[in-house]
Structure 1
Amino acid sequence: MKTANAPKKIGAILPDWGYPYEITDEGFINKWLADRNVEGAEYIVLSTPNYTAGMGVSELEFCKRAAAEEILSAAARQLGNNGCSSIFWGCTSASFFGGLQYAQRQIRLLSENAGVPASSASMALLAALDVLGAKRVDVLAPYGLELTKLFVTFLSDAGVSVGNIRRYSPRGRDYDSDCEAELERLVSSTPFSDDPIVIPCTGLNSLQRVESFEKISSRLVITANQATLWHALALAGLTPSIADSGSFFTLCAQMNGGALRLPLQPSMS
């Protein structure tokens, strides 16, 4: 039973990638929230088995296996039984690979099994773009060609066009080591664009680097981790004002006196 002053639990379902990324680290995320005076939230992680470890499967096959309905349903039920106020599926590619309608069905499945509002990394990115009114973006994609094309299709189906794309394929413990350099290359190829830059993939450590990304690009940057945490907090009824973590959080804090009275699901008109 929840007490009046008990923190609201934010439940994250994440594949066990075998490496300590920020989004999988409960201690890191809870400290990050506390350092930014986000009160009343407790971040908890439920890791699903990495059935593809060492098997040499393709990116797309990984997505299909990681997002199996029986895996996500069981995880959602466990988080719901643990008293979470909202949950999310935190693998970006394994939420957009099947298209927009697939991603929508996926979060309905999660919500039905958990009994609380649910999101996913890719749907959170759409919600963030919807809040900003952004209909065109540039993309820095840490994926292979096939997944990058599927991400562009996913955005397009939601009414968001992609102007410029830069793709790179990091691996393992060095997953995000080249992000700044790749971002510089993207920006140098689009010197006259002021479109927001989207960097998908929750395996890319970004929460403490967004301001650096924006300094490099001189543009608003939205990362999967940024959008996913914001959306999960908002779905749980929390309206934090987060500073020092990029323009998106700053803009959200300025809206309606800092309250996130915003559309929590992207419009699909």
Structure 2
Amino acid sequence: MSSATTSPSDGWDATTRIGVVVPSADIGPEAELQAVAPDSVTIHASRIDFGGMLPGGHMVAEKIPQDPITAFVEPPAVDNAVKLLADSPLHALVLGFTSSSYVLGVDGENALYERLAPVTRGIPVTGTARAAVAGFRALGAERIAIVNPPWFDDKLSTQGQEYFEAQGFTVVHHGPVGLPSEQTAITPQNLSEWIRTTVADARPEAILVAGNGIRAVGTIRGLEDELGFHVLTANQAVLWHALHLAGAAAAAARVTDYGRLFRAVPKEA
């Protein structure tokens, strides 16, 4: 007499597959995206050589120079990385790199997405800044605060302010977080404490913890419960947006521990 048994998942039964382009030495986007994603979603990465980080995931300097940031989105590297990802049976693509959008500005970022369109096979593409804009609008937030990684300098942070102001938001706070400029030195606890003591008094309706390489998704639920405003982080926002672009709104709704954003629907797909 035989009895039916249930086999453990081998990952092939995923209903939504998200591709992400990341800097060569950065594991942050993949770690956070897979942590937040429901079981039906898998994450698949492609890497680009990035001169702002050393092998092993260390920063080349306390503040990232702008030249490597610009080089990250110049052809042919990012075009090739996106094409290779788009060759796979994916449902959405993500550029896991916030700072390039700041440097490019809104018009430059739009031009980048237009340039990539021919190699995506029609797969929708998003990135941190684009996803954050969609998230703020879906949540009805107009007064926002931008918390940048400690490896962003003041110029780059100001470029971020200009990006979001050009999208119609009022930026009530922006700046690099006052923590050590090293990925492993940042924890949800010390990042949350810095936001409580430095940003809360600006009374934003929502904040964005920018930078896909900063350890941030663990701050979301506690800060929203304690401080009341909406909390977006780079990897949370791109996953939420990518799922909706992929037509996987039901998967997005199953995310319950990473912020109110997952209960919101983009105003435009």
Q: CA deviation at 1:217?
A: 2.8
Higher CA-based Rg: 2
Q: 1:61 to 1:7 in 2, by over 3 A?
A: same
Amino acid in structure 1 at the alignment position of 2:23: P
Point out where structure 1 has 5 or more consecutive residues left out of the alignment: 253-259, 265-269
What's the % identity of the aligned pairs?
19
Greater mean deviation of Cα atoms: 107-116 or 68-77: 107-116
Deviations 1:25-62 (Å, cap 9, x if unpaired)? 3xx6445423xxx53x3211112122344565843222
Match of 1:24 in 2: 30
Match of 1:238 in 2: 248
Match of 1:59 in 2: 65
- In 2, Cα distance between equivalents of 1:6 and 1:58: 36
Match of 1:118 in 2: 125
Match of 2:19 in 1: 11
Amino acid in structure 1 at the alignment position of 2:85: L
Q: Is the 8 A contact 2:21 2:95 kept in 1?
A: yes
Q: 1:135 to 1:32 in 2, by over 3 A?
A: closer
1:185 aligns to 2:200 (yes or no): no
Match of 1:162 in 2: 171
Q: Is the 8 A contact 2:144 2:208 kept in 1?
A: yes
Q: 1:212 aligns with which of 197, 211, 222?
A: 222
- In 2, Cα distance between equivalents of 1:139 and 1:214: 15
Q: 1:168 to 1:245 in 2, by over 3 A?
A: closer
Q: Is the 8 A contact 2:134 2:266 kept in 1?
A: no
1:33 aligns to 2:37 (yes or no): yes
1:78 aligns to 2:84 (yes or no): yes
- In 2, Cα distance between equivalents of 1:194 and 1:95: 22
Point out where structure 2 has 5 or more consecutive residues left out of the alignment: 1-12, 55-59
Q: Is the 8 A contact 2:145 2:208 kept in 1?
A: yes
Greater mean deviation of Cα atoms: 49-58 or 151-160: 49-58
Q: Is the 8 A contact 1:87 1:117 kept in 2?
A: yes
Q: Is the 8 A contact 1:107 1:120 kept in 2?
A: no
Amino acid in structure 1 at the alignment position of 2:198: L
1:137 aligns to 2:144 (yes or no): yes
Q: 1:187 to 1:261 in 2, by over 3 A?
A: closer
What's the RMSD between the two structures over aligned residues?
A: 2.3
Secondary structure of residue in 2 paired with 1:138: strand
- In 2, Cα distance between equivalents of 1:185 and 1:232: 32
- In 2, Cα distance between equivalents of 1:198 and 1:6: 29
Amino acid in structure 2 at the alignment position of 1:49: D
- In 2, Cα distance between equivalents of 1:31 and 1:202: 14
- In 1, Cα distance between equivalents of 2:18 and 2:200: 38
TM-score for the superposition, normalised by structure 2: 0.81
> How many positions carry a matched residue from both structures?
242
Amino acid in structure 1 at the alignment position of 2:268: P
Amino acid in structure 2 at the alignment position of 1:246: G
Deviations 1:60-81 (Å, cap 9, x if unpaired)? 2221122222111101110111
- In 1, Cα distance between equivalents of 2:185 and 2:26: 10
- In 2, Cα distance between equivalents of 1:175 and 1:51: 21
Q: Is the 8 A contact 1:86 1:117 kept in 2?
A: yes
Secondary structure of residue in 1 paired with 2:85: helix
- In 2, Cα distance between equivalents of 1:226 and 1:50: 22
Match of 2:3 in 1: none
